[in-house]
Amino acid sequence: MENNQNIIIRIDDRFIHGQVTAAWTKKFGANAIWVVNDKIASNPALKQLQVMLAPPGIAVEVLKVEEAAIKIKNVNNNLKILMLFENPVDVLAFIEKSGVNVEWVLLGQMGYRAGRVKVEKTFDIGPEDHKALLKLLDMGIKLYYQQLPDFPPKPLDMAEKIRSIKF
């Protein structure tokens, strides 16, 4: 997993939290965080909470998927953005709407809910998530699972593992 993308997409249903503020921004040298989620972007209280949780010196934007897809087209090349998404469906929608070239997506945290199956320790998916991940793989986008920055990413079996899941 090379660190040569100007945008780093991480699926983490906790959005901005301790690991993001203390570790992920440093690992990728991010100078901006975009929380990309229609629900949070539409709720002023939830939006403000995300901004308040951000580390000092890191610019934060809370955007709907559609807004992020438009805004990314005019981003300064000096900006290194850690983009946090709740699920693969939103990631796929962002990539399709923006046309942005993404080499890989980082799978982090999607907690268990009824109807989901476990892919990795902290990553459970439902049928719609599964379809979106398969589409990302078909687009040539690599998927890595990495719970914490200090842990090595798991790339080798991820595509095979996602493709083998049946709903």
Q: Sketch the domain layout of the chain as residue ranges.
A: 5-162
Q: What is the pLDDT of residue 4?
A: 54
Considering only CA atoms, which of 64, 97, 91 is closest in space to residue 7?
Answer: 91
Strands 104-109 and 32-36: unpaired
The dihedral region occupied by 117, where left means phi > 0, alpha psi between -120 and 50, and beta the remainder, is: beta
Q: How far is Cα 107 from Cα 96, in angstroms, rounded to an integer? A: 18
Domain at 5-162, CATH class: alpha beta
Cβ proximity of 90 and 105 under 8 Å: no
Task: Provide the residue-wise pLDDT of the chain in tens; the chain has 167 residues.
Answer: 455 568 999 999 999 987 766 788 888 899 999 999 999 999 999 999 999 998 889 999 999 999 999 999 998 888 999 999 999 999 999 999 999 999 999 999 898 889 999 988 889 999 999 999 999 999 999 999 988 877 777 764 677 888 888 88
Q: What is the pLDDT of residue 23?
A: 84
Q: Where are the beta strands (DSSP E) in the chain?
A: 7-12, 32-36, 59-63, 81-85, 104-109, 117-120, 123-125, 142-145
Q: How far is Cα 6 from Cα 76, in angstroms, rounded to an integer? A: 10
Q: What is the pLDDT of residue 24?
A: 83
Instruction: Show which residues are catalytic.
Output: 17
Q: What is the pLDDT of residue 150?
A: 78
Q: What is the pLDDT of residue 162?
A: 85
Q: What is the pLDDT of residue 164?
A: 87
Residues 6+ apart with CB under 8 A from 162: 119, 130, 133, 134, 137, 143
